Amino acid sequence: MSNLKPYERAEFINESTPWHQLTDGLQIYEPATSRQFHTGEWRTNTPVWNTEKCKQCLLCVPYCPDSSIPVVDEKRQDFDLDHCKGCGICAKACPFSAITMKEGK
């Protein structure tokens, strides 16, 4: 990574970057850059977490296909809506009906 030219770093690549400053084949030379790319923008349904019903069993966490349920100290946190696509799998997986889906973002 140390040999990268400044414009080859993902944080400097954006929709204003001219063609000759994009990397060859649009390759990305750093890990975990998807954090910077908010793919939750096209969500049409949104999960809602009911903390009173939730028993913190964490079953929803491995079911989430987009790693959008963060866990801190063995406790799930609220949804990462920057990356959640609203697929509803977590709501189906929850044994305690602690997740419901609402229409829209």
Partner 1 sequence: MSGNEAVAHAIKQINPDVMPAFPITPSTEIPQFVAGMIANGEIDTEFIPVESEHSSMSAAIGSSAAGARTLTATSSCGLAFMWEVLYVAASNRLPIAMAVVNRGLTGPLNINAEHSDSMGARDSGWLQIYAENNQEVYDNFLQAYRIAEHPDVKLPIMICQDGFITSHAVENITLWDDATMKKFVGEYEPDHYLLNADEPMAVGPYAASNYCMEAKKAQTEAMKRAKKVILDVAKEFEELTGQSYGFFEGYRLDDAEYAVVAIGSVCGTAKDAVDQMRARGLRAGLLKIRVFRPFPAEEIAAALKDCRAVAIMDRSEGYNAVGGPLGAEVTAALYRAKSHAEVINIMYGLSGRDVRVEDIEQLFDNLVKLGDGEQVYDETCPYLGLRE
Beta carbons within 8 Å of 53's beta carbon, 6+ residues apart: 96, 97, 98
Q: Indicate whether 28 belongs to the interface with partner 1 (CB under 8 A).
A: yes
Q: Which of 77, 71, 75, 81 is nearest to 104 (CA)?
A: 81
Instruction: Find the part of the chain contacting partner 1 (CB under 8 A) among 24-32, 55-63, 73-81, 86-94.
Output: 24-32
Which residues between 31 and 70 bind partner 1 (CB under 8 A)? 31, 33
Nearer to partner 1, 9 or 61 (CB): 9
Nearer to partner 1, 25 or 104 (CB): 25
Instruction: Find the part of the chain contacting partner 1 (CB under 8 A) among 16-24, 49-57, 65-73, 95-103.
Output: 16-24
Contact 24, 78 (CB under 8 A): no
Q: What's the CA gap between 68 and 42, in Å, rounded?
A: 14
